[in-house]
Amino acid sequence: MPVARFRIGIEVELLLSSKKTSGNNEPGLDKATFAAGLTTSYNKKTEPPLPRMALNLQGKIQAQPRSEWNLVDDSAVTPDKERSNQYALEIVSPILEYGTEFQWSRAVTHLWDCIATDCVIETNDTCATHVHLSPLNGTPWDIESLKSICRSIIHFEGAFEVLVPPGRRGNRFSQNNRLGSPSLIERSDQECYRKIGDCPDIATLISVMQPRTSASSGYQLRKYRAWNFLNLFPAYPGTIEFRQGPGVIDSSGCLAWVELVVSFVQAATQRGSVKSLQGYARTVEGLKTFIDAASVPGLNQPKLLTSIFENKSGYLEPTCHDDDRAKPER
């Protein structure tokens, strides 16, 4: 069943420094003190219905439903070694509704405005923006929608490679799904579509798109794909996660990548059949047409995508580290 409205979650990885100290090499505060001050400052500027922020450096975020931004530590992000006053942090959103009222985008804009008041916001190639999606009504994803999404991911993988900056191509924390799957690597698109279509259940579909790399590979290693489906397993949040987005430094960048992911998945649930995909080139231009064809006036915000698509065209063959490349099934 096509899905047009979603619950969304956003994770942004940042390098932050205080505007009071960012221009010099003086020792900064310890990270906990800096993060506490940022949380307090944000909350002082925030009134309902905008979500407040919780300081949660240990990353033990409360179970769904989540109503606050969470400021957490992020060991995967590497700050500038020459700057003791720059802090690697991640901000995890509350569960937001992607709907016609645009309350989600107001919450995102308010967050960035508050941070920018106190901090210099920077990123590097170790930073990323992750977007989680699930159906708005709280029902689980149905397998046919998931198959349509997976086929669309395969079809447009080279277009996404063009859209993301070089540091997100072949990145070990967001590896290409096809190149990491013995079931899909070195197979044509049509063969991949058949593999996806033959999956009898969601667990099998996950194993095709995101297989175990070894008998001992757990969730943490296995989730490092451009599109992460592991949260669809029982006891997990029930989301699809896009992990290939780059770090961003303002609300417009954050909003753009959320809009891209939502618009793509929305289009995929409607137009991700084998027959429909044959009508779209695998290029950036084809992806834009694919997204535009499913856009809903008053729901989607296509103007947000301009910064991502501007001056981009064509297709790039995905790459990966040799150690991450799957061995084809025989």
**181-238 pLDDT, tens per residue?**
999 999 999 999 999 999 999 999 999 999 976 444 555 558 999 999 999 998 788 9
Highest mean pLDDT pick, 38-47, 75-84, 216-225: 38-47
Rounded distance between C-alpha atoms, residue 113 and residue 136, angstroms: 27
Higher pLDDT, 109 or 19: 109
Between the alpha carbon of residue 98 and those of residues 49, 265, 298, the distances in Å are 16, 13, 11
pLDDT digits (tens, 9 = 90+) for 265-282: 999 999 999 999 999 999
- The model's confidence at residue 22, banded by pLDDT at 50, 70 and 90, is low
pLDDT of residue 220: 54
* CA neighbor of 53 nearest in space, from 91, 16, 86: 91
Backbone phi, psi, residue 157, to 5°:
-60, -40
pLDDT of residue 221: 57
pLDDT of residue 66: 76
pLDDT of residue 216: 43
Identity at 118, one-letter amino acid code: D
Q: How many residues does the chain have?
A: 330
Asked whether the predicted pLDDT for residue 1 surpasses 80, the reply is no
- The model's confidence at residue 158, banded by pLDDT at 50, 70 and 90, is very high
Rounded distance between C-alpha atoms, residue 268 and residue 226, angstroms: 16
Asked whether the predicted pLDDT for residue 61 surpasses 80, the reply is no
pLDDT of residue 63: 47
Backbone phi, psi, residue 124, to 5°:
-145, -170
pLDDT of residue 215: 44
CA angle in degrees (0–180, nearest 5) for 248-239-251: 20
pLDDT of residue 314: 98
| pLDDT (average), residues 295-305 | 94
Supply the mean pLDDT for the chain: 91
pLDDT of residue 127: 97
CA angle in degrees (0–180, nearest 5) for 104-110-111: 90
Higher pLDDT, 144 or 323: 144
Beta bridge partners of 142: none
Asked whether the predicted pLDDT for residue 12 surpasses 90, the reply is yes
Asked whether the predicted pLDDT for residue 23 surpasses 80, the reply is no
- The model's confidence at residue 20, banded by pLDDT at 50, 70 and 90, is confident
- The model's confidence at residue 322, banded by pLDDT at 50, 70 and 90, is confident
Q: What percentage of the chain carries pLDDT values higher than 90?
A: 78
Higher pLDDT, 28 or 41: 41
- The model's confidence at residue 257, banded by pLDDT at 50, 70 and 90, is very high
